[in-house]
Amino acid sequence: MDPIRTFQTKTVVLPIENVDTDQIIPARFLKVTSKVGIGAHLFADWRYDAEGKEKPDFILNKPAAKGAAVLVAGDNFGCGSSREHAPWALYDYGFRAIVSTSIADIFKSNSLKNGLLPIVVDKATHAKLLAAPGMDVTVSLEKQTLTLSDGTAVKFDIDPFARYCLMNGQDELDFLLAQKEEIARFEATPR
Amino acid sequence: MTTKPRTLFDKLWDSHLVRPQTADTPAVLYIDLHLIHEVTSPQAFTWLRERGLTVRQPARTVATMDHSIPTTPRGADGKFKILDSQAEKQLSQLEKNCQEFGIELFALGSEGQGIVHVIGPELGLTQPGMTIVCGDSHTSTHGAFGALAFGIGTSEVSHVLATQCLLQNRPKTMAITVEGQLRPGVTAKDIILAVIARLGIGGGTGHVIEYRGSAIRALSMEERMTVCNMSIEAGARAGMVAPDDTTFHYLAGRPRSPQGVDWDEAVEAWKRLPTDPDATFDREEKFDAAKLEPMITYGTNPGMGIGISAAVPAPENATMEKALGYMGLEAGKPLLGKAIDVVFIGSCTNSRISDLRQAASVFKGRKVSSGVRAMVVPGSQRVKKQAEAEGLDRVFLEAGAEWREAGCSMCIAMNGDQLRPGQYAVSTSNRNFEGRQGAGGRTFLASPLTAAASAVTGRITDARQLVG
Confidence of residue B467 (pLDDT cuts 50, 70, 90): confident
What is the pLDDT at residue A124? Answer: 98
Rounded distance between C-alpha atoms, residue A103 and residue A76, angstroms: 5
pLDDT tens, B219-235?
A: 999 999 999 999 999 99
In terms of Cβ atoms closer than 10 Å to its own Cβ (0-12, 13-18, 19+), residue B421 is exposed
DSSP state of A7: E
Contact B233, B193 (CB under 8 A): no
Residue B207, chain A, CB below 8 Å: the answer is: no
Q: Which helix (H) or strand (E) holds A58?
A: none
Q: What is the pLDDT of residues B120-155, one digit of tens each?
A: 999 999 999 999 999 999 999 999 999 999 999 999
> Amino acid identity of B449?
L
Distance from the Cα of residue B68 to its chain's centroid: 17
Average pLDDT, chain B: 97
Q: Which residues of B touch A111 (CB under 8 A)?
A: none
**Distance between terminal CA atoms of chain A?**
38
* pLDDT beyond 60 at B1: no
Task: Write out the H or E segment, with its range, that includes residue B222.
Answer: helix B221-229
- Count the alpha carbons within 13 Å of A28 in the hemisphere toward its beta carbon: 18
Across the beta sheet with B165-168, the strand order is B17-19, B27-30, B165-168
What band does B76 get if pLDDT is binned at 50, 70 and 90?
Answer: confident
* Model confidence pLDDT, tens digit, residues B330-356: 999 999 999 999 999 999 999 999 999
pLDDT in tens, B295-310: 999 999 999 999 999 9
Report pTM: 0.97
- Cα separation, B188 vs B349, whole angstroms: 10
Give the 3-state DSSP-derived string for B407-468, with helices as H, strands as E and coil as C: CCHHHCCCCCCCCCCCCEEEECCCCCCCCCCCCCCEEEECCHHHHHHHHHHCECCCHHHHHC
Amino acid residing at A132: A
Which residues of chain B have a CB within 8 Å of the CB of A173?
A: 51, 155, 158-159, 162-163
Instruction: Say if CB B228 and CB B211 are below 8 A apart.
Output: yes
Look up residue B17 and give its amino acid: L
The pairing of strands B148-151 and B131-134 is parallel
CB pairs under 8 A between A and B: 177
Per-residue confidence (pLDDT) for residue B468, from 0 to 100:
63
What is the per-residue pLDDT for B2?
Answer: 61
Complex ipTM, two decimals?
A: 0.97
Closest residue in chain B to residue A183, using alpha carbons only? B18
- The predicted structure's pLDDT at residue B78: 82
Q: Which chain A residues contact residue B431 at CB under 8 A?
A: 20, 22, 80-81
Nearest-by-Cβ selection for B155 from A105, A113, A180: A113
The pLDDT of B5-30, averaged and rounded, is: 97
In 3D space, the residue among B257, B347, B452, B274 whose CA is nearest the CA of residue B66 turns out to be B347
B158 contact A CB<8A = yes
Res. B83: pLDDT tops 80: no
Average pLDDT per consecutive 10 residues, chain A (191 residues; last block may be shorter):
91 97 97 93 96 96 96 98 98 98 98 97 98 98 97 97 95 95 97 85
| DSSP annotation string for B80-128 | ---S-HHHHHHHHHHHHHHHHHT-EEE-TTSTT-B-HHHHHHHHT---T
What is the share, in percent, of chain B residues with pLDDT greater than 70? 99
The SS3 call for residue A140 is strand
Per-residue confidence (pLDDT) for residue B25, from 0 to 100: 96
The answer to whether the beta carbons of residues B14 and B6 sit under 8 Å apart is yes
The dihedral through the CA atoms of B233, B67, B134, A159 has a sign that is negative
CA A106, CA B348: separation in Å to the nearest integer? 19
Chain B segment 341-400 residues within 8 A of A by beta carbon are none
Angle at A124 between CA A122 and CA A125, to 5 degrees: 70
Kindly determine whether residue A27 and residue B413, on different chains, have CB atoms separated by under 8 Å. Answer: yes
Q: What is the pLDDT of residues B236-248, one digit of tens each?
A: 999 999 999 999 9
Identify the band that residue B290 occupies on the pLDDT scale cut at 50, 70 and 90: very high
Answer for the pair B404, B410: CB distance below 8 angstroms, yes or no: no
Instruction: Determine which of A13, A163, A176 to mutate to test the interface with B (most B C-beta atoms within 10 Å).
Output: A176
Q: How far apart are CA B459 and CA B465, in angstroms?
A: 13
CB A7 within 8 A of CB A65: no
Closest chain B C-alpha to A4 CA, distance in angstroms: 18
Nearest chain B residue to A107 by CA: give it: B153
